Amino acid sequence: MEESPIRIRGLTVEEYLDRVRNFHGYLAPGVVSGGFMVELACRRLPQGRLYDAISETGACLPDAIQLLTPCTIGNGWLRVLETGRFALAIYDKETGRGARAALDLGRLAAWPACRSSTASSPWPRWRTKWRRLVRAKSRP
């Protein structure tokens, strides 16, 4: 199998998926998509700084943040604020400047398995389409 050129915080997609399985128990679409969201937000931030994070949902997204950043609920660097959106913000502890990433639910309409909390491991079925969506969202 050819290695993916996409990297999520330095990990190949396959390495990230292994970490998701080990940490979350299965390939939940929310944790998988959360990894891409963390990557997109972190690309817009300067390196070498300390950050806090906010997850706007308690479902799956905090696990992606905890897997890919030093921000955890336990150390107080990650907070969960239920806003009803699948979104996250990562921001500088000193200046408060940061980046926010949110899923565009309109674009997800083509992949109903991603919106269903009862779907079991839909990742293999929508991997190719998801990569296209992420590329489209990450263009300047």
Average pLDDT over residues 64-93: 95
Angstrom distance (rounded) from CA 36 to CA 27: 14
Specify if 25 maps to a domain.
Answer: yes
Specify if 126 maps to a domain.
Answer: yes
pLDDT at residue 137 is higher than 80? no
pLDDT number for residue 4: 58
32 to 55, 67, 76, 127: CA distances (angstroms): 15, 11, 23, 10
Specify if 139 maps to a domain.
Answer: no
- pTM for the model stands at 0.77
Specify if 63 maps to a domain.
Answer: yes
Specify if 1 maps to a domain.
Answer: no
CATH number of the domain bearing residue 25: 3.30.1330.130
Domain count, the chain: 1
Note down the domain range covering 107.
7-133
Specify if 36 maps to a domain.
Answer: yes
Fill in the DSSP letter of residue 95: T
Specify if 140 maps to a domain.
Answer: no
Average pLDDT over residues 63-76: 96
Please report which confidence band the pLDDT of residue 120 belongs to, taking 50, 70 and 90 as the band edges.
very low
More confident residue, 126 or 67: 67
Half-sphere exposure of 28 (CA within 13 A, CB side): 17
Fill in the DSSP letter of residue 2: P
Specify if 2 maps to a domain.
Answer: no
